[in-house]
């Protein structure tokens, strides 16, 4: 069974990738099992940051690596918070990020509150892999005027999903996990790895 290191210590992501890669008989282990130091995400795009994380994990462990970088892009804010989504409010957490986003959009009408979640997944066969597999998934929606729902995390309470007429935080977990940006990128990765 091929071992692959996940360039994250997030238990939720680990469970997700274990499930996704099970059909390929790949064993996914978190980078924390190898004491991989946190990589400095100093790229200027989601794909650059995912590559930085994957290369660091692969170099440290000698194993193939998977990494993702994701975030929220709001059109009225020229794509912000983007790659800074998790640290939008200077690292003060989800509620502070959501308050800052609502403040930035205070005077923006509903029709101009379009947004999307982006997920970039990267798979490296080795740390110097010159042709990594890169898969991108996006999830279109818009930003609400106030939070709704208690499921999920991050910007989920503010992200309105038109086809389901509710926020991402109001969706059943199984449905969200089937239609999200990460689900779309993961399906592409599985297809690419099968080939």
Do the Cβ atoms of 68 and 46 come closer than 8 Å? Answer: no
Please give the Cα distance from 31 to 57 (Å, whole number).
6
Do the Cβ atoms of 168 and 159 come closer than 8 Å? Answer: yes
Catalytic residue set: 69
Q: Which residues pair with 71 in a beta bridge?
A: 118
Structure tokens at 87: 């640290």
Radius of gyration of the chain (CA): 17
Counting beta carbons within 10 angstroms of the beta carbon of residue 40, is it exposed (0 to 12), middle (13 to 18) or buried (19 or more)?
Answer: exposed
Tally of residues, the chain: 195
Q: Which residues pair with 4 in a beta bridge?
A: 28
């Amino acid at each position: 069974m091929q071992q692959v290191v996940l360039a994250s210590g997030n238990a939720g992501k680990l469970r997700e990738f274990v499930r996704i890669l099970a059909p390929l008989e790949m064993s996914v282990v978190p980078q924390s099992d190898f004491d991989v130091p946190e990589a400095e995400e100093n790229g200027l795009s989601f794909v650059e940051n995912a590559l930085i994380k994957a290369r660091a994990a692969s170099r440290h462990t000698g194993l193939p690596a998977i990494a993702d970088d994701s975030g929220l892009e709001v059109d009225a804010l020229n794509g912000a918070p983007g790659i800074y989504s998790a640290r939008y409010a200077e690292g003060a957490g989800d509620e502070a990020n959501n308050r800052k986003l609502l403040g930035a959009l205070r005077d923006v009408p509903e029709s101009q509150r379009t947004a999307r979640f982006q997920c970039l997944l990267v798979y490296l066969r080795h740390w110097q892999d010159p042709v990594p597999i890169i898969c991108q998934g996006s999830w279109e929606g818009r930003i609400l005027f106030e939070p709704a729902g208690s499921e999920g995390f991050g910007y989920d309470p503010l992200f309105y999903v038109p086809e389901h007429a509710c926020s991402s935080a109001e969706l059943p977990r199984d449905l969200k996990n089937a239609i999200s940006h990460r689900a779309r990128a993961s399906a592409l990765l599985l297809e690419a790895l099968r080939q």
